[in-house]
Amino acid sequence: MSTPRLQLALDCADLPAALAPLARCAADFDVIEVGTVLLFAEGLHAIRAIRAIAPDHTILADARIAEAGSVLAPPFFSAGADWVSCVAGASLTTIEQTVAAAHRHGGAVQVELGETYDPDRARAWRDLGVEHVIVKRSRDREAAGELSWGAQDVDRIAALDALGFTVTVTGGIGPRDLPALAGAPVGVVIAGRSIVAAADPASAAASLRTAMREVWS
């Protein structure tokens, strides 16, 4: 099983706060996420600025589109995003519109799941052309110190992988969390605050990379 790609989540309050750690560790990541908070603060300028710094990276605009996919999605792709996210509660019409916009721009759509998901709805997303899904550990459960990654999560990841999705995992993931996901067909691991807030972002990213190789070797 191949080692997952590593994604840096830049959910910062402004562009300078995002660019400072990015400049120090961009080479350690495969995917760069322009987080929802950053998109609200800086708009499409954030995508353009990060694309200029990281021309060869995959860039996700974490727009969390809930409706009006045909209107909202195209500007993100035109600004330089490769992937755009939708919320799981979006209608299938919205998902279809967003996928159509992605295909016109050579991009892809990611759907962020909640604590649970409907397998039939997931099949419908896949039939519409959605390529990526996020399985997350909620911030509330993480803050409570609950180690939520376990056998049930591995089964869920495997089921989504079997449907043909690339599965991304997120939720305060650090080296100590990864062994619980051993054997799971994870496509992308997201790291955010643990890298952005680190005194040495490149060193923190390298430690996570090492742990990922050990788990998925």
How would you class 198 by CB atoms within 10 Å of its CB: exposed for 0-12, middle for 13-18, buried for 19 or more?
middle
- The answer to whether the CB of 64 falls within 8 A of the CB of 35 is no
Across 133-138, average pLDDT: 83
pLDDT in tens, 62-82: 999 999 999 999 999 999 999
pLDDT category at 102 given cuts 50, 70, 90 is very high
Q: Is the pLDDT of residue 202 over 90?
A: yes
Whether domain 5-215 has CATH 3.20.20.70: yes
Instruction: List the alpha helices (DSSP H) in 26-68.
Output: 36-42, 44-53
CA distance 130 to 109: 5
Alpha-carbon separation of residue 14 from 19, 94, 199 (angstroms): 9, 29, 19
| pLDDT score recorded for residue 150 | 80
Across 44-55, average pLDDT: 96
Alpha-carbon separation of residue 154 from 12, 147, 167 (angstroms): 30, 14, 11
Across 126-151, average pLDDT: 77
**Rounded CA Rg of the chain:** 16
Estimate the crossing angle of helix 44-53 against helix 15-25, to 10 degrees: 20
| pLDDT score recorded for residue 183 | 86
| pLDDT score recorded for residue 152 | 84
| pLDDT score recorded for residue 173 | 86
| pLDDT score recorded for residue 162 | 97
pLDDT category at 139 given cuts 50, 70, 90 is low
- The answer to whether the CB of 201 falls within 8 A of the CB of 211 is no
